[in-house]
Amino acid sequence: MNFKKLLVCAGLLSASAFGVGCGDDDGGGGPPPPPTPTPSCTAADLATGMSKFYVLNVLSLAGPEGDAPPFTSAGYNVDGDAAVACNSHIVGETAEFSGQAPDNGSGIDNALGGDLGNLANSSLQDSVDDASVLLLIEVKGVDNFTNDSCVSVNFFLGALPAGTTAPMLGEDGHIAPGQTFDLSADSFTDGMAGTMPRIQFGSARIVAGRLQAGPADFPLSLNLLGASLNLTIRDAQLRFNISESAMSVGVLGGALNTAEVITTVNAIPDLAMYASVVEDTLTGLADIDENGSADSCEAGSIALKLSGVTATRGAVVAGSAM
């Protein structure tokens, strides 16, 4: 099996636990956001609003869009620059893009998404539709769906309730709204107690109906061929339109450090034989200069597109690898 496909499909479809810190800065790629809320969200702030629960029903790796360059792409200006810094990429073709509404701007970084998406997106969406990949999002402290300076976002690995073999699908073939999904204990650092989510943007906001969170490092632990593959999406940002009935036009993006990925792959005996292939591929696609050296790329940018519908939070159940 092609290793890139194995890494993307098995990795994304086997997520066991990941966490994220909180942050409120915007890395570019659009009009400057409003000032960071001061003070940051507190438990008391979040307790004043409602909690909304969604299930992701659309998930894909974003790629360049358009019939000819310069292309547009979902994603973020990860490196803070509107020009390619390294690796001889051509602006608008393989690295820097124009942004898509409502995250318009120049210098959008998403060099990895296109190639990986061509390999994985069909299988990834099929797995979302049959609940092999079941990701749930909880937004807490919502006082207003148009503008709210203080909300938090938690992600959970979902599970079908006992006696359920598949989710109900809507006319579009994707998970329909209004269903109950359980939460895997693997989603919490305190396990079955279910009070401390591993996956969280602790301080976020809603501006003009669009939730904004990040940037922050986004640690991701994947169960791949029985081993844990630990990756981190650097400077991850999250945006999506939010309403009482849905979350839509969502984008999660950041960068994967090439050396970190190779070190992790080399440390896993079943994957080490593919390290040189992975290194050549990621090095060729890398577009982010992390250390300021001339014409060097240490990481590759990536973006995912996501949408979801309302759901009901069920019980916390014993965790298991998805």
| Domain spans of the chain, in order of start | 3-316
Higher pLDDT, 217 or 243: 243
Which pair of structure tokens corresponds to residue 93?
């073709």
C-alpha R_g of the chain: 19
What pLDDT, in 10s, does the model give residues 1-60?
A: 333 333 433 333 333 333 333 333 333 333 333 333 334 678 888 888 999 999 999 988
**For the chain, give me the number of helices (H) and strands (E)?**
6, 13
Task: Report which residue type is found at 76.
Answer: Y
What pLDDT, in 10s, does the model give residues 218-271?
A: 766 554 555 556 778 888 899 999 999 999 999 999 998 999 889 988 988 888
User: What dihedral do alpha carbons 215, 219, 223, 229 form, nearest 10°?
Assistant: 120
Query: What 3-state DSSP class applies to 236?
Result: strand
Round to whole Å and give the CA distance between 295 and 287. 10
What pLDDT, in 10s, does the model give residues 54-85?
A: 999 998 888 888 888 778 888 988 888 777 76
Give the CA distances from residue 194 to residues 162, 201, 215, in Å, rounded to whole numbers and listed in that order.
Answer: 18, 17, 26
φ/ψ of residue 63, rounded to 5: -135, 175
Q: Quick count: other Cβ atoms within 10 Å of Cβ 75?
A: 31
Q: How confident is the model at residue 91 (pLDDT cuts 50, 70, 90)?
A: low
Residue with the two structure tokens 């009070």: 195
Task: Report which residue type is found at 259.
Answer: A
Q: What percent of the chain is modeled with pLDDT above 70?
A: 77
| pTM of the shown model | 0.81
Which pair of structure tokens corresponds to residue 234?
């650097």
Q: What percent of the chain is modeled with pLDDT above 90?
A: 34
* pLDDT beyond 80 at 170: yes
Q: What is the mean pLDDT of residues 147-159?
A: 92
The predicted pLDDT at position 235 comes to 83
Which pair of structure tokens corresponds to residue 47?
């307790």
β pairing state of 227-242 and 96-99: unpaired
